Amino acid sequence: MSYPDMVDTYWVYFLIGRYPQGPLGGLVLTLVLATLGLLLALPVGLVLGMGRVSPWRAIRWPVTALVFVVRGTPLLMVIFWAYFFLPSLTGIKTDRFVTMLLALVVFDAAYLAEIVRAGIQGLPKGQAEAARSLGLGYFRTLRLVQLPQALRHMLPSLVNQFVSTIKETSLGYIIGLTEVSFIATQINTLVFTLPTEIYLTLGLTYFLLCFGLSRCAYALERRLSVREHYHHHSHTPA
Amino acid sequence: MIQFENVNKWYGAYQALADINEAVPKGEVLVVCGPSGSGKSTLIRTINRLEPIQGGRILLEGHDIHARSQNLNALRSHIGFVFQQFNLFPHLSALENCTLAPLQLRGLSKKAAQEQAMALLDRVGLAHKANAHPTELSGGQQQRVAIARALAMQPPLMMFDEPTSALDPEMVGEVLQVMKDLARDGMTMVVVTHEMGFARDVADRVLFLDAGRVLERGTPEAFFNRPEHPRAQQFLADIRSPFASA
């Protein structure tokens, strides 16, 4: 079988797996998983990030411990926990997609927590002081003054985290989730004679997605820093 | 209105405020001056508990500001605070900067809060900039918005922490004018400033701090013409001709 024949035969399979006859798979599943993973990790990461900068030790310490444990663990381990440990703990056997999604959310939330923490701590101290001086409480200050600004600064980091998440979904392979890497391997098994071409195509697919998004993050960063520069300039005495 | 009773504050082994005993009656404009590092900013920041104190009491109309039981947010909403670096909220327009706290804390309707904010912006001469964001305003304009923002909580007293020190010289006047108008309207004010012209014209009383101690207190007339303490004499000589004493 030639490369064009292979592409012609399997491109739909590569994109969506067996859908609509079977479950959704392929590149679309990879993107759905990454998007859902990041969207669900975002609120969790926000809460954990707030916990990381909490003035109350009873909150800050356990959250910090959790974040450090997860960040010091390979994603593969988190996936194994979600796959083997969690069902034995809860008695509920989740399907592969939900298992992988859970692992991604826990893993990414820990990284997002650090992005949120940096975003909040990176703001000038005067912002919180001004808000508190008006009589706004701790949580109102966080919600109305610190987070809206921090989120803006975090935008490039969030896009970069999304890039990481896309790559992380390939580990779903290990638990038999039919994301794009798994599908590529299936195609390779069926075709048998074109492993180099198939895995180059897979690699290129990841690269184009991630490179494109990284460029977006870079452009965002530059746009934000231009505005930021203007902002600081007008604050600085000449 | 504000009463300092034996206030002491340390940063580690360094004593930032030493035995401060002072009273600011209602309607008074008190100017606090002194060389840099003298504790004048620290002093003003203890009044709304941005800085803790280790000894003594500060009373605001009889309420112990640093008492654990004190409702800090309610207390702070009664003290307007204006910062050297303005600290406007950059993600909000000038108008929104002035409506944020009243909407959250005074239970005003959106319409009422906006009307009040517009009136305040008009009072500081910036009604036409209501929809501008802080980045689009000059330093002087930002500081005037910051004053309007503080006034939006209708505080009975206002603190100013070197409000003109971060400004280009040509913008100092517009901010001082707003402060003069406030003082003329009877606002109780504590002002940390190096603007001796302002102190002369507006202050009822001047405090001179050095190394955390009040070395001199009196009317501007007495302070500027007959300073008693050598440190105060030196300080006044330094700011009058900054290059002469070196």
Task: pLDDT tens for chain B, 246 residues: list them.
Answer: 999 999 999 998 999 999 999 999 999 999 999 998 899 999 999 999 999 999 999 999 999 999 988 899 999 999 999 999 999 999 999 999 999 999 999 999 999 999 999 999 999 999 999 999 999 999 999 999 999 999 999 999 999 999 999 999 999 999 999 999 999 999 999 999 989 899 999 999 999 999 999 999 999 999 999 999 999 999 999 888 767 654
**Whether complex ipTM tops 0.85:** yes
B168 in contact with A at a CB cutoff of 8 Å?
A: yes
For A27-91, give the DSSP string: HHHHHHHHHHHHHHHHHHHHHHHHHHT-S-HHHHHHHHHHHHHHHTS-HHHHHHIIIIIHHHHHS
Q: Decide: A33 and A182 in contact? Cβ < 8 Å.
A: no
CB contact under 8 A, B76 and A235: no
What is the predicted pLDDT for the residue at A227? 63
Tokens 């013409």 belong to residue: B225
Fold of A3-235: MetI-like fold (1.10.3720)
Task: Write down how long chain A is.
Answer: 238
The token pair that represents A96 in the structure block = 């592969």
Query: Which of A133, A144, A227 to mutate to probe the B interface, most B CBs <10 Å?
Result: A133
Question: Could you give the CA distance from residue A67 to residue A112 in angstroms, rounded to a whole number?
Answer: 10
| A151 to chain B, closest Cα gap in Å | 11
Question: Could you give the CA distance from residue B125 to residue B120 in angstroms, rounded to a whole number?
Answer: 9
Which of A15-19, A232-236, B80-84 bottoms out in mean pLDDT, i.e. has the lowest? A232-236
Q: Is the pLDDT of residue A238 over 60?
A: no
Span A19-30, average pLDDT: 91
The more confident residue out of A238 and A232 is: A232
Does the predicted TM-score (pTM) go above 0.80?
yes
CB contact under 8 A, A136 and B73: yes
SS3 content of chain B, % helix, strand, coil (to 5): 40, 25, 35
| B108 to chain A, closest Cα gap in Å | 15
- Residue numbers in B near A145 (CB within 8 A): 89, 100
Beta-bridge mates of residue B191: B31, B160
Q: Report CA-CA distances (Å) from B3 to B24, B62, B78, B203.
A: 6, 8, 15, 18
- Residue numbers in B near A131 (CB within 8 A): 89
Q: Is the pLDDT of residue A226 over 90?
A: no
Question: Could you give the CA distance from residue B16 to residue A8 in angstroms, rounded to a whole number?
Answer: 78
The token pair that represents B182 in the structure block = 């406030």
- CB nearest B76 (choices: A133, A231, A234): A133
Which residue on chain A is closest to B77 by alpha carbon?
A135
Which of A90-99, A208-217, B123-132 is the most confident on average? B123-132
- Residue numbers in B near A134 (CB within 8 A): 76-77, 81, 100-101, 105, 149-150, 153
First to last CA, chain A: 71
Residue B144 carries which side chain, given as an amino acid letter? R
